[in-house]
A and B are shown apart, each in its own frame.
Chain A
Amino acid sequence: MAHHDQLDNRLHSTARRQLRLTKAALLVVLVGLCVVELRITAWPIVTWPMYGRRTTVFPLPSASAIELRVTVDRRLHKLTQVDFFPMGRTSVAERAMQYAFDDTDPSLRDLHRTYLVQVVKRILRTDELDTLEGWRLEWVVDPLALPPLDRARPIREVRLGGFSGSRYSGTMQGRP
């Protein structure tokens, strides 16, 4: 008790209020962290569930990635997922490129094409794009070798499709 009283006397009112506020905020955060589990809905109250439920297999004997080949004034530019978003957030770019060359749902494909045209214009700092082509590059993988694949020599380059930049230069429209 005596110790607590001494402590109370040491703190002047502002600092004491700040301490109370900080403790209350921490309590809310800690309770929040116990409640949210793996959900990101309540961001920034999120936990760190890294690799907790990961199920992996030994890497497959082949790997692939999508490359966007863009022609501007007859010059070819090759873009990959890392050109769109910073490291750690690149998977969304890979998915967007997949959708843009997937004819299963034409309206969804067109939305992604319009999106890609907008972003590529910004990345290449140009107002006009001639053509955009999606290519899937495939490599042979030896996971136990160094390096595990020869990045410069893909075994296969499959053209997923292509479209004209001017055709998808309009502003984003809602899905029909």
Chain B
Amino acid sequence: MMTYGIFRRLNVSVDAWFTASETNAAGRTGLYRIVFSVFYLWHLSSHSAANLAGLPDEHRSRVLLVEWIQSTSLSPLFFELLESSLVAALVILMFGYRVRVATAAVLILGCLYEACFVSVDAEHSTILLTFYIPFFMLLADRWGSTYSLDALIEQRAGGPATNPGDSSWYYFLPARAVMVVLAALFFSSAVFKVAFGATWLTRPGLLANIILDKNVKAAILELPVNPLAPTLAQIPQLVDTLSYLVVLFEGTFFLALFKGKLRNFYISLALIFHSANALWFVVSFTPVLVVYGLFVDWQTLRERLRPGQISLFESVPSRSLVWATLILAVGGGILWNYGTGLRTAINLDGLLNWRTIWYPVLLLSLVWWLLASRDLVRSAGGILDNLRSRQTTLPADSRRS
């Protein structure tokens, strides 16, 4: 009975956490759908799955999702078709037409596409982009409620219009679910650094060697080297402190699950962490960036950039909009593997790559982190003041009684 009671209370707390309101939840989730699609297309622009065709089995690891495919015998055309279909689905998702079907297509095609790559070389940062975000969005089925063709068509048919400023929890449910997964993944990273035969904290000079090794790799790959690497590596106390800080950050990232100041603090810190890794330690964890977009209030940003309602397509008939979306999707899919024009247009001819994208992110996240830290210190100060005032008033109260 007692165990049941504990689980019931836990369930109530979990429900309360999931069902807390979030400012502009409807609008920001709708806009995030567009951000997600654009980011995914940009991510794909540097990949060419056709290069996997014919790669001998010696390079493949077992991945159940694609085990049924005899990938060695697959032609480049198969991979190109898969890639083009994914691009078409992303374009449809971006415009928000048949969002549920488009999300399912992005989830299935994206997982199949990524699993083919994973079986050859596992890149752990892509799971949020290719699986968790579309998966939880599909379960909740809400990111098409605003800024989408679906919403516009429904509204024109006399259906209710969703207010982008609606703060109802169900629009933000998938974001919270993804946040739980992200916290679990960070926690797993900390666990594997301290347990199960971990060497991270026990092997002297491990991080110093990794830092130097990464600099050698950067030089070979003709990337900018880390100017601080030799200095860092020669101060063991500093490197040891960094090792512990990394574990501390990863192990306590779950605190970001708390709404408000702590969430802002941890997310901005995570962005600084990823930026530093990409810019100076040749750690290509870039696809993870898309997950943090879930916690940006795109609706407020949109309103600041363009106050009032957007009525771009007011005079265009729905049918024309649908056809335009489908033509763009098919055209994008066809052009994706026809020359490199579309890809280079998206990644600005390689200017916006896995590394350079972190420069603006680092700048913005530093500002965000400073603001979040100030808020955190202020509220900690407030809590301390409250405690102090209670301690000083209590004896007086007791004297009076």
Contact = CB atoms under 8 A, between A and B. Distances in A.
A158 interface: no
Interface residues of B, number: 89
Contact of A43 (B115, B125, B135): B115
A7 B56 contact: no
A86 B209 contact: no
Given A23-B14, A149-B219, 8 more contacts: A19-B170, A38-B192, A54-B199, A54-B200, A56-B209, A87-B354, A115-B56, A143-B233
Contact of A47 (B12, B135, B192): B192
Interface in B185-211: 185-186, 188-189, 192-193, 196-200, 203, 205-206, 209-210
Main secondary structure of the interface of B (DSSP, over half): helix
A11 B125 CA distance: 34
Interface of B: 8, 12, 14-16, 18-19, 46-48, 50-51, 53-56, 58-59, 61-65, 72-73, 76, 111, 114-115, 117-118, 120-125, 127, 130-132, 135-136, 139-141, 169-170, 173-174, 177, 180-181, 184-186, 188-189, 192-193, 196-200, 203, 205-206, 209-210, 212-213, 215-216, 219-222, 225, 227, 229-230, 233-234, 284-285, 353-355
Interface in A1-57: 3-4, 7, 10-11, 15, 18-19, 21-23, 25-26, 29-30, 33, 37-38, 40-44, 46-57
A102 B196 CA distance: 36
A151 B219 contact: yes
A53 B199 contact: yes
Contacts of B354: 86-88
A82 B221 contact: yes
A160 interface: no
A141 interface: yes
Contacts, number: 227
B59 A46 contact: no
A170 B394 CA distance: 88
A111 B140 CA distance: 46
Contacts of B76: 118, 122
Contact of B192 (A53, A87, A89, A146): A53
